[in-house]
Amino acid sequence: MNAPPTLSTVTEARLLRDEIRAGRHTAVTTGMARGHLQANLVILPADWADEFEAFCVANPKPCPLIARTEPGDPALPTLGASIDVRSDLPRYRVFRDGVAVSEETDITALWRNDLVAFALGCSYSFEAALLDAGVPIRHIEQGKKVCTYRTGLDTVPAGRLHGHMVVSMRNFTVPNAIRAIEITSRFPRVHGAPIHFGDPAAIGIADIDKPEYGGEPDIRPGEVPLFWACGVTPQAVVEAARPRFCITHKAGHMLVTDRMNEEFRQS
């Protein structure tokens, strides 16, 4: 573990959350408050919460659980003293019976006393570590969103929760692919090492040029695609398991925390 964040860096994350809370930033948080841990969000009714936690424990690569609220409490004090999960993400997706029914920039009006929020680690943390190590990331260079794909890989079911894994893809030269595996393996709490590289069909991706979310891939001769388990996986699980109600972040529109990525690096 590194030294605790300094006041100035905490302030940077809090000021960004203030902008988001005030509705002045509703776009992706990619590259913002650099060095800060960003998190995926899943909100479920309390009668699904223990099953979701069990699902995270059973699927630590797509769902690395870093914090959970009490029912009805929108605070995540271990991630930031001021966090309110109802207003502090730029964009949310609302699901009813497993169907995405709306996108919101604030969910205060939808909040209920039985809702439990889960924060999951996000690949933005290891992307920062890759860039710090001089490993270039094509979609960041090109100002695009990361490409994500639904796969044919089953997650490990827990209670009523089941579904296929979603992965994010980054392409590298072979030496950089090796570096990327080395570096991300040091971040098991933010998805860790990739789950696959090479042939997309081997994990049930029919066409790598057609991601589910994100921009178009730009894979050049001699480069290899690496696939990481992705924190969007719970959204595919919600679609498969159909809980009555669920709110998640929208891909790329993350919870920016006061914690630093470096705190989540294994020694």
Name the segment binding a copy of itself (CB under 8 A); options: 50-58, 61-69, 106-114, 198-206.
198-206
Residue 174 interacts with a copy of itself (CB under 8 A): yes or no: yes
Of residues 76 and 180, the one with the C-beta less far from a copy of itself: 180
Place of tokens 């789950």: 195
Cα angle for residues 27, 28, 33 (degrees, 5° grid): 110
The least distance separating a copy of itself from the CB of residue 231, rounded to whole angstroms, comes to 19
Residue keyed to tokens 């994100």: 214
Q: Per-residue contact track with a copy of itself, 39 to 78, x per CB under 8 A?
A: ----------------------------------------
CA dihedral 242, 40, 253, 80 (to 10 degrees): 130
- Any contact of residue 267 with a copy of itself (CB under 8 A)? yes
As given in the structure block, the two tokens for residue 40 are 């995926």
| 119 or 193: CB nearest a copy of itself | 193
| Binding of a copy of itself by 181 (CB under 8 A) | yes
Q: Are the beta carbons of 58 and 156 closer than 8 angstroms?
A: yes
Which is it for strands 99-104 and 92-96: parallel, antiparallel or unpaired?
A: antiparallel
197 binds a copy of itself (CB under 8 A): yes
Asked if residue 133 binds a copy of itself (CB under 8 A), the reply is no
**Nearest-angstrom CA–CA distance, 2 and 13:** 18
Task: Decide whether 143 or 221 has the Cβ nearer to a copy of itself.
Answer: 221
Q: Considering the complex, state which of residue 74 and residue 225 has its C-beta at the smaller distance from a copy of itself.
A: 225
Place of tokens 């992965």: 167
The distance of closest approach from Cβ of residue 115 to a copy of itself in the complex, given in angstroms and rounded to an integer, is: 36
Nearer of residues 68 and 179 to a copy of itself, judged by Cβ: 179
Q: What is d(CA 219, CA 228) in angstroms, rounded to the nearest whole number? A: 16
Note the Cα 101 to chain centre separation in Å: 21
- Please tell me whether residue 164 binds a copy of itself under the rule CB under 8 A: no
196 binds a copy of itself (CB under 8 A): yes
End-to-end alpha carbon distance in the chain:
8
Contact between residue 79 and residue 257 where contact means Cβ atoms under 8 Å apart: yes
Tokens linked to 200: 């997309």
Among 5, 194, 225, 243, binds a copy of itself (CB under 8 A): 194
The contact set with a copy of itself (CB under 8 A) reads: 174-175, 177-179, 181-182, 185, 193-199, 202, 222, 224, 267
